[in-house]
Amino acid sequence: MSERADSAANHGFSSLSLRPELLQVLTELGYSQPTPIQTQAIPAILAGQDIMAGAQTGSGKTAAFALPILHKLTEPLLRLDEKNEQQPEAPSCSQVSGIRALVLTPTRELALQVHGSFVKYAKQTQLKSALVYGGVSIDAQAQILAAGVDILVATPGRLLDHLRRGSMSLSELEFLVFDEADRMLDMGFKDEIDAIVKQLPKTRQTLLFSATFDDSIYGLSQSLLRDPKRIEVGERNAAAVEIEQRVYAVDSDRKLALITHLIESGKLQQVLIFSRKKVAADKLAANLTKAGIGAQAFHGDLSQGAREKVLQSFKDGEVRVLVATDVAARGIDIIDLNYVVNYELPYKAEDYVHRIGRTGRAGNKGVAITLLCREDEHLLEEVEVVLDKRLPQQWLAGFEPDLTKSVDTPRKGGRNAHKQRAKKRANGGRRGR
């Protein structure tokens, strides 16, 4: 850790040399000590470095890039006084035209969250921020862009729509941020990213944040970043230490009964449950509601307005359980969410890390529960490879699995798949990269 970062850890945000108006907002928000990612990223960004940062959700990464960007965008501009000497002049939006900072996010929910953070942190500045994502009127967004914007938070597809329509320009861009870059690639946005980058000035500062790293992320970083500073807080692809991980072995046809029992007997409030498919989320939410547990499904088939309403109801405690798919839940940011349940394990092991990262945020404790049926044991094995740790299974009295039942071995559990996983473990997975 650098001397400056070490000082930040001991003396709070004031030691990071942020502008007074930003420090005032942080004080009002009750922020006292920067998180590890903030301690390392903020000085590097202020120094003008590109960064490649590995940080889990809930680590404070939004403030890690938003605060230094706001600081640099509000740095006094130089003017010549009557004596022909350079003097600082407070910046105004009219002095610099065009979008100066662009934050790309994989989902609408995350875009809303990031934009909200910029608005909150920038309230003592004159900087204007805007948000563009699909599912709502593109014309209304174009009108906002035409009025002048300093900071834009966008999803790749809708941003490309605006660029093709000519409703905005990125020729003045100074900062490019990829938030949750791994998810953007997982969702197939590589072509959109390439098309967007072609329209950006080559001289810019690029900041890449990713919860997990694989070959595709390294490939993206090599094409976008210039001599980046590598920042990793915690182990790569590792779950937050504040999260207790439990695995309950149960027959697939008894999962509903078990999750109902866990919620009711534990008097759990605000439970986020993950399913792999939208139809499964709808079915589970309906069954929980029939059992007297208020639940709502949360997935991409809902309109943007409906998703925002459901999410707000969950945050307000009006809905006790949210049953979500991986993509839809990506932007959920609830500080006091204590329980996440994997009703089904994800097919992609890294998604397990993203899922359980919804809890244990901002230093709080959290519990991640996985309901494991025998058909999915190969998926747990993949998760353990990514985490580099065993997740011991336990049985809950009254819900023990029937080991006499025959189980159809899925294709992913076949001999060749097992060989591939054994080879991956022998090579240390991707952890040694």
227 and 364 in one domain?
Answer: no
Average pLDDT estimate for 228-239: 70
- Identify whether 192 is part of a domain: yes
How many folded domains does the chain comprise? Answer: 2
Reduce the secondary structure of 157-176 to three states and give it as a string: HHHHHHHHHCCCCCCCCCEE
Q: Is the pLDDT of residue 373 over 50?
A: yes
What pLDDT digit, counting tens, does each position of 95-105 carry?
345 899 999 99
State the CATH number of the domain containing residue 326.
Answer: 3.40.50.300
Sign of torsion, CA 325 330 331 335?
positive
- The rounded distance, in Å, linking the Cα atoms of 295 and 286 is 7
Segment 381-400 shows an average pLDDT of 89
Structure tokens at 229: 């500073």
Domain end (from 232, 263, 290): 232
User: Is 247 found in the same domain as 228?
Assistant: no
Encode pLDDT of 354-364 as tens digits.
788 778 665 56
Do residues 146 and 208 share a domain? yes
* Number of C-beta neighbours around residue 340 at 10 A: 25
- In the structure encoding, which two tokens stand for residue 356, read together? 């359980």
Report which of 180, 100, 199 is spatially closest to residue 358, judged by C-alpha positions. 180
Sign of torsion, CA 162 167 172 174? negative
Place of tokens 């006084």: 81
Q: What is the pTM of this model?
A: 0.64
User: Looking at the domain assignment, is residue 68 inside a domain?
Assistant: yes
Kind and range of the H or E run holding 322: strand 321-324
> Which alpha helices (H) appear in 296-396, and where do they start and end?
304-315, 349-356, 377-387
Q: Who wins on pLDDT, 212 or 400? A: 400
Q: Are residues 221 and 249 in the same domain?
A: no
What is the rounded CA–CA span in Å between residue 96 and residue 74?
11
